Amino acid sequence: MLLAGLVVHAYGIEGPAFLRLFMLAAAGFAVSMFLRAAWRLPFFALLSLAAVFLVFSPADGAWLIACGVVLIGTCHLPLPLWARVALLLAIGGLLAASRAGAIAAPWSSVVWPILGSMFMFRLAIYAKSLATEPRQGRIWAALGYFFMFPNLVFPLFPVIDYQTFRRSHFDKDSAVIYQQGLLWIARGIVHLLLYRLVYQRVVNDAADVEALGDLAQWMLGTFLLYLRVSGMFHLIVGMLHLFGFRLPETHKLYYLSRNFTELWRRINIYWKDFMMSFVFYPVYFRVKKLRPAMAIGIATAAVFATTWALHSYQWFWLRGGFPVTPQDILFWGLLGGLVIVGAIRELRPGPKRLRGAARWSLTEGLRTSGTFLLFCFLWSLWSAESVGQWIWTLGAAINVDAKGALLIGAAIVLLTWLGGRSRDALSSARPVLRTVLPLAALLVLAIPSVVGLLPAPVADKVAALHTTGLNVRDAELQHRGYYEQLDVRARLATQDLDQPGARRDEWQDLPSTGVLRLRDDFLERDLLPARSVVWNGNAFSTNRWGMRDRDYELEKAPGTLRIALLGPSHVMGNGVGDGETFEALVEDRLNREHALPGIGRYEVLNFGVDGYCLTQQVRMLEERVFDFAPDVVIMTTYHANRAMSRVFLYKTIWRGVGIPHEEVLQLVRSAGIEDVGRDGLPVPFEPWRRAARWVGVNVRMPGAEIEGRIHGIVDEVSDAAIARFARVARERGVKPLVVALDAVVERETRELPNQEALRAAGLPVVNLLGIYPEERRAALRVASWDDHPNAEGHRLIADRLYPGLAAFIDKEFAAE
């Protein structure tokens, strides 16, 4: 337990709230071990109730417990069953209305996922179990069952059966139960760290898939992200074992299933059992007069239809939305079909053995690898943003490359080897070794001097185990304002489901403040003039010209050196107050410290706008900046520009906005996306669309294909923006300068983006990439979920930008 605690601390597993809870579990475990048997269940219930206040504020904690007590109490009212069910439904309806925002709740939004998670399924299981439940210890059992403390940091929680929860409590030797619990805690930690490795270093973006290798990486990566769920569930059930609940395993070698029916039984076993009890058996017994195959087919189909519906129901309580997408229907439909086929095949007589075959079997191995690869294929459908995106992404398979052949070949060989072995052989090592060895190894890898001895690629992978933030892809998505889509992308493996104490749910985006204006032209967005709001706790004001800046006259005063600064959100100053932006700090310092003959005053005008890519910066320059007669104009280049450009081009093309930049228009034409159509059925691939039109169907290019085609030209569009920036600035007699500056992202590369274009345009660059020291990044960010620099971050940028800018001014203007 101590070893596990050290690893949790060293790697920051599941955040600070989990560490607090883990320490509470360790202390509770130590006390529980020495308690009399009769006191252990009440102790667990009281510990769980106390833990509520460790995670929530006193008011929120009290509301959570009060709500729970009302719901549990309703189950015990001395009324007929139908009346109690009606009452529960009425209370559930009220809560659902409040969750949907129709009725104001007296508690903060962070309570909802936990309240929903505790009661959305368990209440039905509990109500069903009441008839057969022993009365002794009922109150403590109920409180412990609903408020079990791991649920406070894991909203995504296994559906634990109430009878099993009660029946299994210290039903075997306590030492055996504790040992099993520690083994699963260790396994859970390993799964969660492997998940980090996959999330940070393996999984790629569907939009970046160009060949078979990328496609294989995307499919493998998205399925491997499921490690997060199995890791959390192992950790949860492991911790419950420490308090004597000998619950069954939640996941069992699911990546090594030999068919889909076996996979369904091995992956999220608790859900399968819940569905068996509530859907499969009741439906089967209703239709069992039919032929067995027919009855099983109907019952299994009912299970998958219910699973599909309940996933959306679960999402509603955890997230507040109710997603129903075509890929959901297709995924559950196809998986259900495959499981039905497997179940009907199993009706044939067939042996089972307590101990698996000792000899390696090629057939079993091939069945395992085939099931894995086919499930990867299906899982990628579920993970895709749309069916259109999925089909378009699959199209990359025709570009066979060495990486693809190697990845698929390696997966087949590894899975065939592992899958052909006996399942017992795979877990034959002693439990103590399986618990201690991985934890000890992880602890050693947490020592910086040890990591320093490793080769760079291995050290990079070890660094990924420590990385808790968003990966590069999702960080870019956050920048381009698509953060909310993480719900769709990461599904149940999402990164931030586990932060009930965080304020991310209440985090405002800029459009919701009324300061940002979305436009129907090539600029796409700008800031409204003369606005003053409070945005995420900071004063945010625009001047009469729509700059996030102090006021300036349009006419430049004599003796003034005017610098126009273009850029995206971190230039505009997301997350800092008025006057705290690096632009304001540099302006003040220039005026204070950089006196030059003939220059009486410096003015730095902030034209930064949230979400701007390079093309929009150039457009802003042409539309507005030259009116202010600047002497210097600065473009901000950064690594997320590529993602921003993709979104900008997508919006421009989808809306049919006129493209005034001839060079961009040529590129769009060359990609075949000048006119993509906005009506009609989305059909991927031009030959398919031609065929559809030939038979009279109105079709259009699907969004995923537009994105894929944009992917092919996006770098050239950025290069074109750089060339245009240099040209138009010089034509107007303005000195162009480029600043390379990222937000406070992890894994920032120091390599300058679009280097060739910058060199070709002869643009001077002040390179500020890599200025955030790794150990200070957390302190320089606005929040853990928002990697814009905070006020301290802006001061650091200003300190580093000033010398470069001053040198540029000296070079360009001192002689004049």
Partner 1 sequence: MNDIRSVLRAYILENLLPGEDPSNLTDDTELKESGILDSMSTLKLVTYLEEQFAIEFAAADLEPANLSSIAALQRLVQSKL
Integer angstrom CA distances of residue 270 from 132, 310, 707: 20, 14, 39
- 431 part of the interface to partner 1, by CB under 8 A: no
- 163 part of the interface to partner 1, by CB under 8 A: yes
- 161 part of the interface to partner 1, by CB under 8 A: yes
- 364 part of the interface to partner 1, by CB under 8 A: no
- 352 part of the interface to partner 1, by CB under 8 A: yes
With beta carbons less than 8 A apart as the criterion, state whether 500 and 113 touch: yes
- 109 part of the interface to partner 1, by CB under 8 A: no
- Least Å distance, CB 692 to partner 1, is 43
- 353 part of the interface to partner 1, by CB under 8 A: yes
With beta carbons less than 8 A apart as the criterion, state whether 152 and 113 touch: no
Integer angstrom CA distances of residue 527 from 460, 514, 644: 40, 9, 17
- 347 part of the interface to partner 1, by CB under 8 A: yes
- 14 part of the interface to partner 1, by CB under 8 A: no
The correct pick among 346, 484, 627, 662 for binding partner 1 (CB under 8 A) is: 346
335 or 664: CB nearest partner 1: 335
Coil/strand/helix, residue 167: helix
- Least Å distance, CB 233 to partner 1, is 16
CA quadruple 268, 274, 277, 282: dihedral, nearest 10:
-100
261 or 494: CB nearest partner 1: 261
The correct pick among 76, 138, 167, 730 for binding partner 1 (CB under 8 A) is: 167
345 or 669: CB nearest partner 1: 345
- Least Å distance, CB 142 to partner 1, is 18
Q: Which two tokens stand for residue 544?
A: 């009469």
Please report the DSSP string for 406-447 in residue order.
Answer: HHHHHHHHHHHHHHTS-HHHHT-S-HHHHHHHHHHHHHHHTS
Site for partner 1 in 265-324 (CB under 8 A): 265, 273, 276-277, 280-282, 284-285, 292, 296
289 or 592: CB nearest partner 1: 289
Query: What per-residue string of b and e applies to 244-259 under the rule 16 or more CB within 10 Å gives b?
Result: bbbbeebbbbbbbbbb
Residue 572 main-chain phi, psi, to 5 deg: -60, -35
105 or 287: CB nearest partner 1: 287
With beta carbons less than 8 A apart as the criterion, state whether 480 and 644 touch: yes
- Least Å distance, CB 328 to partner 1, is 24
List the x/- string, 210-249, binding to partner 1 by CB under 8 A: --------------------------------------xx
Q: Which segment (60-68, 162-170, 311-319, 563-571) binds partner 1 by CB under 8 A?
A: 162-170
Number of neighbouring beta carbons within 10 Å of residue 490? 19
- 81 part of the interface to partner 1, by CB under 8 A: no
162 or 218: CB nearest partner 1: 162
Coil/strand/helix, residue 467: coil
Instruction: Return the amino acid letter for 595.
Output: A
Size of the site for partner 1 (CB under 8 A): 27
Cα-based angle 119, 120, 125 (whole degrees, multiple of 5): 75
The correct pick among 58, 78, 134, 349 for binding partner 1 (CB under 8 A) is: 349
Q: Taking the CA of residue 426 as centre, how many other CA atoms within 13 Å lie in the half-sphere pointing to its CB?
A: 16
End-to-end Cα spacing for the chain: 71
The correct pick among 102, 354, 358, 554 for binding partner 1 (CB under 8 A) is: 354
- 409 part of the interface to partner 1, by CB under 8 A: no
Q: Residue 393 belongs to what H/E stretch?
A: helix 387-394
Q: Which segment (175-183, 344-352, 537-545, 697-705) binds partner 1 by CB under 8 A?
A: 344-352
Q: Residue 810 belongs to what H/E stretch?
A: helix 791-813
Q: Round to whole Å and give the CA distance between 95 and 114.
A: 13
User: Contact positions toward partner 1, by CB under 8 A?
Assistant: 161, 163-164, 167, 248-249, 261, 265, 273, 276-277, 280-282, 284-285, 292, 296, 343, 346-347, 349, 351-355
